[in-house]
Amino acid sequence: LASEHVKVVLTGQGADEPLGGYQRYQGEIVSAKIPRTLIKWAGNLVNVLGIKNEKIIRASNSLGEKDDVKRFVKVYSIFNEAEIEKLLNIKEKKSYKAVNYYYQLLNCKKKKKSVERMMAIDTRMNLSDDLLIYTDKITMNFSLECRVPLLDTELINFIESLPSEFR
């Protein structure tokens, strides 16, 4: 329908990553305020109780991890390292390498809060490798060109300059 009237559409894609629109960011904020030993205890409790909710399992597996990159990989991954190794028969930690690449490229250690580091990585990884490709394929299927104004470089730089509590 839209392609009968217009050739270019605007999308709101790209707002969640820099502005903190995902639940994982709330988990990262909360975990920064809770002692690691308590988080590890809660993670063990999830395993003992046999909880099957994927989000809870990922949170319990990741929040006790002190290293940012390892924690982010655990948040992003559906499968744990042992399952990936078994499924693909590889021992190379490609997920870790990808996240670490962006972590180093963006000089994330300079960002004060881990949630800000996570948002910066999400903006560069998840959008370009997944969400924008999906949007592009859908709009091309309907002979439309899609623009993403929220991913303007100057806008992203401004948003990322704000403390996470203002996003």
Tokens of 40: 């590890």
**Whole-number pLDDT of residue 37:** 80
Sequence spans of domains, the chain = 2-166
Specify which residues 8 forms β-bridges with: 145
pTM above the 0.85 mark?
Answer: no
pLDDT, tens digit, for every residue of 79-128? 777 887 787 777 667 778 888 888 888 888 788 888 998 999 889 888 88
Phi/psi for 10 (5° steps) reads -105, 145
pLDDT at 167: 87
What is the DSSP secondary structure assignment for residue 128, as one 8-state letter? I
